[in-house]
Amino acid sequence: MSNAPRSGSAPVVGIVMGSDSDWPVMEAAAKALEEFEVPHEVDVVSAHRMPHEMIAYGDRAADRGLKAIIAGAGGAAHLPGMLASVTPLPVIGVPVPLEHLDGMDSLLSIVQMPAGVPVATVSIGGARNAGLLAVRMLAAHDPALRERMERFQAELKKQAEEKGRRLRA
């Protein structure tokens, strides 16, 4: 894991997590962004163990050129919500499942935000969808990226149809 921009140019999506132990789950977000060649950065920004740095990350994110933040954490997962409280950028929260409670604690910590401070919460362990959602956000203002997303969706449809054909055969 490194804070250096992935895919060459300046990062437009920040992927952050509470600990490097979240990386096996969060890696799927990075892979989704790589598939669409979206420049991104990856870092550990713990809400509880480095709160001042976490606030600084959220404070500076928009001015540094990021367009969205994907934040994953497990247990008392306050990172996505706290980032959303200090940045105007869209924040996508990924509940990381830990050993106990099957990730329900992470999910509820992330999803129950007060009105006015939204976090777009994906499913428990749903980091791939977090990456794809960030791509869709960027694609709203990027026709080429939108076209790639449409091709991706057409491929999903093709695969689903093929599964149906195999079952019917």
C-beta nearest to ligand RP5: residue: 18
Residue identified by tokens 């669409």 is: 36
Show the binding pattern over residues 104-143: x = contacts ligand RP5 (CB under 6 A), - = does not.
----------------------------------------
For residue 78, CA distances in Å to 41, 82, 85, 149, 159 come to: 20, 6, 11, 31, 37
Nearer CB in complex with ligand RP5: 56/154: 56
Alpha-helical runs (H) found in 8-103: 23-35, 51-61, 79-86
Binding of residue 96 to ligand RP5 (CB under 6 A): yes
Binding of residue 75 to ligand RP5 (CB under 6 A): yes
CB of 164 to ligand RP5, least distance (A): 38
128 is in an annotated binding site: no
Binding of residue 29 to ligand RP5 (CB under 6 A): no
Binding of residue 19 to ligand RP5 (CB under 6 A): yes
Residue 113 backbone zone (phi > 0: left; psi -120 to 50: alpha; other: beta): beta
Contact 27, 94 (CB under 8 A): no
Residue identified by tokens 């990172």 is: 79
151 is in an annotated binding site: no
What is the rounded CA–CA span in Å between residue 38 and residue 74? 25
Give residues in contact with ligand RP5 (CB under 6 A).
Answer: 17-19, 21-22, 46, 48, 73-75, 96, 98
Binding residues for substrate: 19, 22, 49
